[in-house]
Amino acid sequence: MPHSSLSVSEPERKSHLTTRSYGATYVEKTCGRCHHNVLTFHSAQIRRLQRENQTGHDFHIFWVPRRTLMADKLLEEEGVLGDAKITELPLFFFPLEKDVLSLELEDSFKDLYLYKDPTPTFLLAKALMGIQQAHGLFPRMVGKGDNAKRVAELLTRMRQEQLAGEDASEASKMGLTPSTTTESVIIIDREVDLVTPLLTQLTYEGLIDEVFGIQNNQTDVDSTIVGAPAPAAAQPASTAAAAAATSVPTRKRKIQLDSSDKLFDQLRDTNFAIVGGLLHKVARRLRSDYDSRHTSQTTAELKDFVSKLPGYQAEQASLKVHTGLTEEIINYTGTEVFNKLLEVQQNLAAGADPSSQYDAIEELIARDTALPDVLRLLCIYSCISGGIKTKEYDQFRRLILQGYGHQHLLTLQNLDRLQLFLSRSSPLASMIPMTGSSGGTGTKTNYTYLRKQLRLIVDEVSEHDPNDIAYVYSGYAPLSVRLVQCILQKQYLLTITKGNGVTGGSQGWKGFDEAVKHARGATFDELQKGEDKAVKARALLSGNGNKKTVFVVFVGGITFTEIAALRYIAKKEEGQSRPSVLARVSGYANIFSCVQLGEA
């Protein structure tokens, strides 16, 4: 996941009610499974206001991003459908960064894979269709995974419906011609690579998410770690008002994590191993800048220092915050339990015999390690190995239920439905290719085969001066981003996997057709064309720009570490005058929202 003139916290899309003597306004996020409880609550509010107040009220309900028949039916059952004016507010993508847009659907993973609710794919297609209407069709749609294929099919259908519509104007039809500023869209289904979001993120931003959690580019941290916030008087009026409105009697401080913080922007995508050294350099530079005031001899030099002082103070405050965060993360990563977890994860990812990790996992359970951390290991074991040996599987289940409580029968059941934690005797596990096998293409992702074919393990990776995306996991290259490289960086990938970097100008999946077959789900590569007259008109209007954008879309969520890897690719491509990469996500991947479920 994932973060208005109606006074609503739009990034969070929370329920909101504004009541005055003359009306009430409700803004609600569209969510099939939560419709009933939400509408029952608001219907009761409407009936109460009507009953207790003599003054007439106007009620307005805005559904974000769309109105549904189910919502109308529930309002009708509650007897308030005719008492409220209902409309929809089509908000889709939220710009979290200049290169990241998100639908902020926090439950997209749960909806798609646990409840089999296709709503996120439809909303994503609607959002992408809006981009196409504004900037032209994606000339090429390439992707991997069943949900990715559904998004592509929905885009095609929406385009046909618009062209066939009676109210389709010439201008709108021209909008449905291939863009001259976009090269392609790459759509990746989260289900294709479930191991990557289960691994511990090792970039600075990723570890902040692991330790504190990040929501809508913000994290809540105890003020004893990062210091108290600046006094309200020293803040801009709008910031002070917002802080007062959201203040709660706790010691928590909300930290903004985006590119507006120049220091964080420099640190966010680096491997955490080098963050301490970078902070030390910044501290020394700031000390040197402050000391320069003693050497200033002329009025002009003093005036120049004074003009830079606010910038120095802001940077000093940022340094204090990130030093505090770093120290807390070091305390977390320095524990014996963390290092044991990381060792088992990396051994499993590197292809070690999973049975050899049994004793380590059993010891972690015996030491009462947090349940999500244990389940991460078990899910990685199951996904990579085609299920867990029946005897070990039964033993792990017994240890979890006895150690963490029998209420987690539902947790294990959900993991089974997600096909994340399976016994090899399970019918679902039979679809997962076994270790050393190259069969079963397209049914499940064969990590053993792809580890070699796409070189997912890079033994010699530099964290200070990265030479491969594997630096984000200290030696493991995320499969999801390797698939993006199969399209954007064919020459580099062929060189490191086959020693042959000649691609012959091929596009799409060509060159990696066989390898891609061993990843789960449908594979597609489709061209979108328009009428020749409209295409020429668009090219004439937009000119011939050399740089084009590639849209990378993750269906079901993405981790901060994968975004860091995509930014690494973008940086390399810009250096070679190749297309820039824009990551578009349907929410931040959070498998643990399913892992910790206590519901069936």
Does residue 20 carry a pLDDT above 50? no
Which of these ranges, 214-218, 280-284, 286-290, 529-533, has the smallest mean pLDDT?
529-533
pLDDT computed for residue 221 by the predictor: 95
Q: What is the pLDDT of residues 229-243, one digit of tens each?
A: 766 544 544 454 455
Name beta bridge partners: 224: none
Output 480 or 546, whichever has higher pLDDT.
480
Q: Binning pLDDT at 50, 70 and 90, where does residue 3 land?
A: very low
Taking residues 137-156, report their average pLDDT.
Answer: 96
Q: In the chain, pLDDT over 70 holds for what percent of residues? A: 77
pLDDT computed for residue 57 by the predictor: 80
pLDDT computed for residue 458 by the predictor: 94
**Cβ contact 167:190 at 8 Å:** no
Whole-prediction pTM value?
A: 0.86
pLDDT computed for residue 284 by the predictor: 92
Which of these ranges, 220-229, 301-310, 399-408, 474-483, has the smallest mean pLDDT?
301-310
Question: With b meaning 16 or more CB within 10 Å and e meaning fewer, what string describes 502-534?
Answer: eeeeeebbebbeebbebbbbbbbbeebebeeeb
Q: What is the pLDDT of residues 253-271, one digit of tens each?
A: 999 999 999 999 999 999 9
pLDDT computed for residue 2 by the predictor: 36
Does residue 1 carry a pLDDT above 50? no
Residues in CB range of 531: below 8 A, 6 or more apart? 177
Q: Binning pLDDT at 50, 70 and 90, where does residue 25 land?
A: low
Taking residues 46-73, report their average pLDDT.
Answer: 83
pLDDT computed for residue 12 by the predictor: 37
pLDDT computed for residue 403 by the predictor: 94
pLDDT computed for residue 254 by the predictor: 94
Q: What is the pLDDT of residues 170-208, one digit of tens each?
A: 555 556 789 888 999 999 999 999 999 999 999 999 999
Does residue 167 carry a pLDDT above 90? no
Q: In the chain, pLDDT over 90 holds for what percent of residues? A: 54
Output 460 or 143, whichever has higher pLDDT.
143
Judging by beta carbons within 10 Å of its beta carbon (0-12, 13-18, 19+), is residue 249 exposed, middle or buried?
exposed
pLDDT computed for residue 438 by the predictor: 45
**Polymer length of the chain:** 600
Query: Mean pLDDT across the chain, nearest whole number?
Result: 83
Q: What is the pLDDT of residues 431-450, one digit of tens each?
A: 555 444 444 456 889 999 99
Domains within the chain, CATH numbers bracketed: 16-91 (3.40.50.2060), 92-193+481-595 (3.40.50.1910), 207-228+252-333 (3.90.830.10), 336-385+387-431 (1.25.40.850)
Q: Would you put residue 521 in left (φ > 0), alpha (ψ -120 to 50) or beta?
A: left
Taking residues 333-346, report their average pLDDT.
Answer: 96
Query: Coil, strand or helix: which one is 256?
Result: strand
Q: Binning pLDDT at 50, 70 and 90, where does residue 361 land?
A: very high
Does residue 506 carry a pLDDT above 50? yes
Q: What is the pLDDT of residues 383-421, one digit of tens each?
A: 999 899 999 999 999 999 999 999 999 999 999 999 999
pLDDT computed for residue 64 by the predictor: 85
Peptide bond into 139 cis (omega under 30): no
Output 44 or 579, whichever has higher pLDDT.
44
Q: Binning pLDDT at 50, 70 and 90, where does residue 8 land?
A: very low
Does residue 85 carry a pLDDT above 60? yes
**To 10 degrees, what angle do helices 490-498 and 479-488 make?**
120
Residues in CB range of 334: below 8 A, 6 or more apart? none
Q: Binning pLDDT at 50, 70 and 90, where does residue 51 land?
A: confident
% helix / strand / coil in the chain, to the nearest 5? 55, 15, 35
Does residue 155 carry a pLDDT above 60? yes
Query: Coil, strand or helix: which one is 227?
Result: coil
N-to-C CA span, the chain: 22
Does residue 83 carry a pLDDT above 50? yes
Taking residues 349-376, report their average pLDDT.
Answer: 94
Taking residues 280-287, report their average pLDDT.
Answer: 91
